[in-house]
Amino acid sequence: MGRLQGKVAIITGGARGMGAATVRLFVAEGAKVLIADVLEAEGQALAQELGANAAYLRHDVTDEASWQAVVAKAKADFGGIDVLVNNAGVLLFKTIQTTEKAEFERVININLIGTFLGTRIVGAELIAQGKGSIVNISSVDGMKAANGLGAYCASKWAVRGFTKVAAMEYGHKGVRVNSVHPGGVDTAMGNPYAEQKAEVNKRYTMVPLQRVGEPEEVARTSLFLASDDSSYLCGAEIAVDGGMLTGQYYVGFPGAPGV
């Protein structure tokens, strides 16, 4: 406990799913957290649940003025900013041939442009004070391809590369920038039909850990990167994927499940 004691964090997409899990964990570890999300009812309820160490502001990550408002509220409510978690994101299941230009642009705008704006605008505050941590939530699909996820993969590969550039430009100014790459996670986005865990896990037989991930497991990695425990990590990419990127089991081969 207390790994973020005295720190102030902004978490985008913080009203539900991985974002909400990260908000709860950061507060439990001593941080004051600004929940920035378009989901007003969920965001306000979470802030009320967590009390004085959390606040909510409606936030559109694609809008520069909205980012400026987030910075102003974090400073007014909590006195400064130490950590930014660029978590807000959307998913689109469509083939390239069935994806409309506007749909592709929406995914890029939220997942990539939102990350860029946060890194630039909040990053300026961190650079000015000479310290801070930015955690960009990418995806395993920012490290591999997946059919039917053209827009999403494009955005998450871009977040991965952009994080490396930010690490090079910000690191020598005292600000660490790293990326987290979740695999399948049991959230409203990853499990939109709210299937039972046992059913979801049937689709993860190719993964070494043989199960879907939990939001808290991703949150703990963001906590590590936000905390001083990761003081010499900059430009790192951490896959939280149950081993998905390690390789796929060949059914019936020695060492595979059931063999």
Q: 13: how many CB neighbours lie within 10 A of its CB?
A: 29
Give CA 38 to chain center in angstroms.
15
In angstroms, the Cα distances linking 25 to 31, 141, 163, 249 are: 9, 25, 23, 33
- Exactly one of 152, 193, 232, 250 is catalytic; name it: 152
Residues 9 and 226: beta-carbon distance below 8 Å: yes
Sheet holding 175-182, edge to edge: 54-58, 32-37, 8-12, 83-86, 132-137, 175-182, 237-240
Nearest residue to 93 via CA among 152, 50, 141, 35: 152
- What single-letter amino acid sits at 178? N
* 14 in Cβ contact with 36 (< 8 Å): yes
Is 204 in the active site? Answer: no
How many residues are there in the chain?
A: 259
Q: Catalytic residue numbers? A: 152
